[in-house]
């Protein structure tokens, strides 16, 4: 995803070893992930770059089944992350 982007409105069947259907590969802000259905994957939302920051990130209406690890992992110096189901 990129800053200022809304990502979603889709249904995805993913391989069980996919780490990050939605991948954060750099500093991002003002991103929304919404209306997303995922079946399979290791993790749905993954911050894949060491040191990347996430600011004002909204997760809304995301449904995941058969996930091996968890819905999301956002680390580093991140703030303003809102999960609204």
Tell whether the model's pLDDT for residue 1 goes beyond 80: no
Q: Are 15 and 40 in contact (CB under 8 A)?
A: yes
Query: Would you say how long the chain is, in residues?
Result: 85
Q: pLDDT tens, 3-62?
A: 788 878 888 888 888 888 888 888 888 989 899 999 999 999 888 888 888 888 888 899
pTM of the model as a whole = 0.80
Least Cα distance to 56 among 10, 12, 24, 20 occurs for 24
**pLDDT at residue 85, as a whole number:** 61
Q: pLDDT tens, 52-78?
A: 888 888 888 999 999 998 888 887 778
Other C-beta atoms within 10 Å of 80: how many? 11
**pLDDT at residue 35, as a whole number:** 92
Instruction: Report the first-to-last Cα separation within the chain, whole angstroms.
Output: 20
**pLDDT at residue 48, as a whole number:** 82
């Amino acid at each position: 995803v990129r800053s200022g982007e809304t990502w979603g409105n889709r249904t995805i069947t993913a391989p069980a070893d996919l780490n990050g259907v939605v991948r954060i590969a750099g500093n991002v802000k003002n991103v929304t992930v919404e209306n997303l259905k995922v079946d399979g994957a290791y993790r749905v939302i993954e911050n894949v770059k060491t040191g990347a920051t996430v600011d004002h990130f909204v997760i809304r209406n995301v449904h995941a089944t058969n996930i091996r690890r968890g819905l999301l992992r956002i680390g580093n110096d991140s703030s303003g992350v809102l999960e609204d189901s």
